[in-house]
Structure 1
Amino acid sequence: MNALGRHILAEIHGCDAAILNDMAGVEAIMVEAALKAGAEVREVAFHKFSPQGVSGVVVISESHLAVHTWPEYGYAAVDVFTCGDSVNPWDACNYIVEQFRAQNFSASETLRGVLVEANAQKAAV
């Protein structure tokens, strides 16, 4: 099956709370994750919550990386959505896990824009 993109949803636990609460640090990690995956960064938007936590998105030519952190629980929810074959979303995800100093994580990958109908039409021609 062909798909337009790959979307990874990651549950990242046991992270360093100080890292998760540092907006500039989280932003730098997310941007670098996009670059390590081979993506082209277009725009970046992050917000620091009071008393704690960070949310943000890195818009890439190939789609996006997003993060929401709960430093008080050592937890981060991350999604990495890439389109095309030139960017590996797992490279970005693994880098984020490493930089957040996570004790454990789980992640699932979903294919987005599965081209079943287009393939069936091509086969019928």
Structure 2
Amino acid sequence: SNATIVNTSFHRFLPYGVSGVVVISESHLTIHTWPEYGYAAVDLFTCGDDVDPWKAFDYLRNVLKAGRVHVVEHLRGKYDEIGILEDSPHKAAV
């Protein structure tokens, strides 16, 4: 999905389960799994126009063989509320 991976860290729990983070230049991805309940919680945070979080979503849905998914999408970028100027180089398209 054109993301630039900066670092990764994963921890396996015994007897099963994993928590992990993938830090990308464009933000981060996290996962926490509870195989005993058939449940995984995934957060995909991205910014800018170069990364498509839905590609990561589709990939994980297939790899995890998810039978049911629940998606909540939060559009961020309330620049006026945090004082970023309209023409700032730090402002990403939303």
Tell me the TM-score normalized by structure 2: 0.81
Which of the pair is proportionally richer in strand? Answer: 1
Structure 1 range deviating more: 79-88 or 110-119: 110-119
> 2:26 matched to 1:62?
yes
Counterpart for residue 9 of structure 1: none
1:13-48 CA distances to partner (integer Å, 9 max, x unpaired)?
A: xxxxxxxxxxxxxxxxxxxxxxxx210111010000
Is residue 9 of structure 2 the alignment partner of residue 77 of structure 1?
A: no
Task: After TM superposition, give the deviation of residue 113 of structure 1 in Å.
Answer: 3.1
Q: Residue in 1 aligned with 2:92? A: none
Counterpart code for 1:109: E
Q: Which runs of 5+ in 2 are unaligned?
A: 87-94
1:95 partner amino acid: Y
Residue 89 (structure 1) aligned with residue 53 (structure 2): yes
Determine whether 1:107 maps to 2:75. no
Q: TM-score, normalised by structure 1?
A: 0.62
The residue that corresponds to 1:45 in the other structure is 9
Alignment length, in residue pairs? 85
Higher relative contact order (CA 8 A, sep 6+): 1
Letter in 2 for 1:51: P
* CA-CA distance at 1:112 after TM superposition: 2.3
Unaligned 5+ runs, structure 1: 1-36
More helix by share: 1
Measure the CA separation in 2 of the matches of 1:40 and 1:82: 11
